[in-house]
Amino acid sequence: MEINPIILKFVYAAVVVGVVMGLCSYAVLAERKVCSWIQGRVGPNRTTLPLIGSIPVIGKFLTRLGIFQPVADGAKFLFKEDVTPAHVNKFYFIMAPVLSLVPALTTVVVVPFGRYVTEAGEIIPLVLADLDVGLLFLFAISSLGVYGVVLAGWSSNSKFSFLGGIRASAQMISYELAMGISVLPVLMWVNAPGTDGTLSLFDIGQAQEGLWFVMWMPLSFLIFLVCLFAETNRLPFDMAESETELVSGFHTEYSSFKFGLFFVGEYAHMIVGSCVITVLFLGGWNPAPFLTWDYLGFGDGILGAVLSVGTFMGKMCASLFLFIWVRWTLPRFRYDQVMRLGWQYLLPLSIANLIVYIFVIYFLDTTSF
Amino acid sequence: MTDLFFYIFSAVALISAFTVVFSRNTVNAAMALIVTFLSMASLFVLLEAYFLAVVQVLVYAGAVVVLFLFIVMLLDAKEDKQKKISRISTAAAVIGFAILVMGVVAIQSSPTLAEASGGELAASQMTLKTFGNQLFTTYLLPMQVTGFLLLIAMVGVIVISKKAKQPQS
């Protein structure tokens, strides 16, 4: 049976977006649970579904873990009254939440999450589109995410929202630079002389069958991580929200489903960020440094594909946990500190890092051993 | 299919470009500028120049217009009232339009146009590596000159925006 390839792509895209949205809702649950554990509380443990919740032992256990909470949260967002204040610019007010969610979901297109080895030994990347310029595409689309925040702040027509929007635009531009430069050593190593030049994320993941990049480019990893926190507007960089100063920043005037879109957008950004950091630095779908599923004999066929996706998801969840952990541990920076950190420390540091690795990679490539 | 996409994206690009020029609300103009850049990037994709498309989005739509919006919002520009057009700007507009018409006529009457649009484009299906190689060999001088121009602009902005220190009396 022949299926139209375009329809097939639509189906794949729907599946991937579904998985990301599901992960988003459970990331929210994880955030609430981890936060309450860190603060010595219990967290959501009451919400339950009629049938599953009444199974003895298991039902109670799941309820206490809060597994059913995301359903209730989602329903709450849908059914709350949607207030549009009279003083807002209606068009941009409605556009802004959409603009903050769409780029996050679009970037998922180029993120590879595993590999499938056919019987002929051919390696097929599990990704919606394995672009040659994958990494640049990712940076390009995620840089559009700032418009959601900026327009929300401006169209709300209130002081606090406006300040949040202004802060977000300055912050995102500042950290994009250091972020872009910090990954250059990785790309230089992947594009060694004699290979086809590529920025495909899948090839970067494949290049880490030996040493993971986090191990011999720790500084790049650190800079990238800090910039990622700033770009996703997470604490300690959530200048756009900072509820102690700006009520809740750019989304002060939002309610109900529009607020829900911002909320989901933030978590979608975090999930994509975790995926990228896994692919770039944490070895992608390889279980351990110098160890691939091939060496263990599980590399081929469906089993290998499932294992590689599982490994990838595990690493991604670990870095998602890091996001949450940091949020409930570190205090927020002051705004001038954020700007100083970005321009005076991270940017020079990333350039210095790049120059050092230019020489290191040059010597590694020219000396044969 | 490709033709249809071409017409859609060029129509969007043109309409939004006109919106940039004619809109009296500066935020609307800035947003229309983003749409223009995005649809131009889509045209690059149709030409299979993926790198150019991505750089177009990354630099212009992602960074330059954010700065525009930033300034527009900070200055809180209200909708402009209709202003009287001065004689000089009328003359400049007429001359500019005349040059545009001449340009279009020159391109249209050029004998090489037919083969240029029929043949393979230089940027089509180029890999990143070819781009890099060309940029650092054949086109090294233009690139350096452009970089130098940008540097001059940057230094100029810093000089203008920084207040000169008053001599201590």
Domains and CATH numbers, chain B: 1-78 (1.20.120.1200)
**Per-residue pLDDT at A100:** 87
pLDDT at B97 over 90: yes
pLDDT at B112 over 80: no
pLDDT band, residue B79 (cuts 50/70/90): low
Give the chain B residue nearest A166 (alpha carbons): B70
Strand partners, A125: A115
pLDDT at B116 over 70: no
B70 contacts B78 by C-beta, under 8 angstroms: no
Torsion over CA: A170, A175, A178, A181 (sign): negative
Nearest to B58 among A140, A169, A197 (CB): A140
Instruction: Tell me the chain B residues in contact with residue A137 when contact means C-beta distances shorter than 8 Å.
Output: 54
**Per-residue pLDDT at B152:** 94
**Per-residue pLDDT at B125:** 59
* Contact state of A133 with B51 under an 8 Å Cβ cutoff: yes
Tell me the residues of B at the A interface, defined by beta carbons under 8 Å apart.
27, 31, 34, 50-51, 54-55, 57-58, 61-63, 66-67, 69-70, 73-74, 127-129, 132
- State the Rg of chain B over Cα: 21
Q: At what angle do helices A256-280 and A90-107 cross, to 10 degrees?
A: 30
A327 vs A34: CA distance, rounded Å: 10
Task: For residue A91, give the nearest of A149, A156, A144 by alpha carbon.
Answer: A156
Q: B118-136 b/e with 16+ CB inside 10 Å = b?
A: eeeeebeebebeebeeeee
Q: How far is B43 from chain A (nearest CA, A)?
A: 16
What are the structural domain ranges in chain A? 81-366
- pLDDT digit string (tens) for A41-81? 888 877 777 777 777 777 777 777 778 888 888 888 888 88
Both structure tokens of A91: 């068009």
Angle, alpha carbons B59-B61-B67 (nearest 5°): 85
CB atoms inside a 10 Å sphere around CB A118: 10
**Per-residue pLDDT at B82:** 67
Nearest to B132 among A133, A162, A197 (CB): A197
Higher pLDDT, B137 or A208: B137
pLDDT at B16 over 60: yes
Q: How far is CA A338 from the centre of its chain?
A: 21
- pLDDT digit string (tens) for A299-354? 677 777 888 888 888 889 999 999 888 888 888 888 888 888 888 898 999 999 99
Q: How far apart are the first and last CA of chain A?
A: 52
pLDDT band, residue B51 (cuts 50/70/90): confident
Q: How far is B30 from chain A (nearest CA, A)?
A: 11
- Residue A140, chain B, CB below 8 Å: the answer is yes
Q: How far apart are the first and last CA of chain B?
A: 74
B20 vs B4: CA distance, rounded Å: 24
**Per-residue pLDDT at A244:** 72
Nearest to A133 among B50, B66, B132 (CB): B50
A126 vs A300: CA distance, rounded Å: 14
Q: What is the mean pLDDT of each run of 10 residues along chain A (369 residues)?
A: 76 87 87 88 80 76 79 85 81 87 87 79 77 84 85 84 82 85 85 72 79 84 90 78 74 82 87 89 80 72 81 89 88 85 89 90 75
CB atoms inside a 10 Å sphere around CB A38: 13
Task: For residue A331, give the nearest of A216, A198, A242 by alpha carbon.
Answer: A242
Helix (H) or strand (E) holding A117: strand A115-117
Q: What percent of chain B has pLDDT over 90?
A: 25
Both structure tokens of A53: 């919740």
**Per-residue pLDDT at B123:** 56
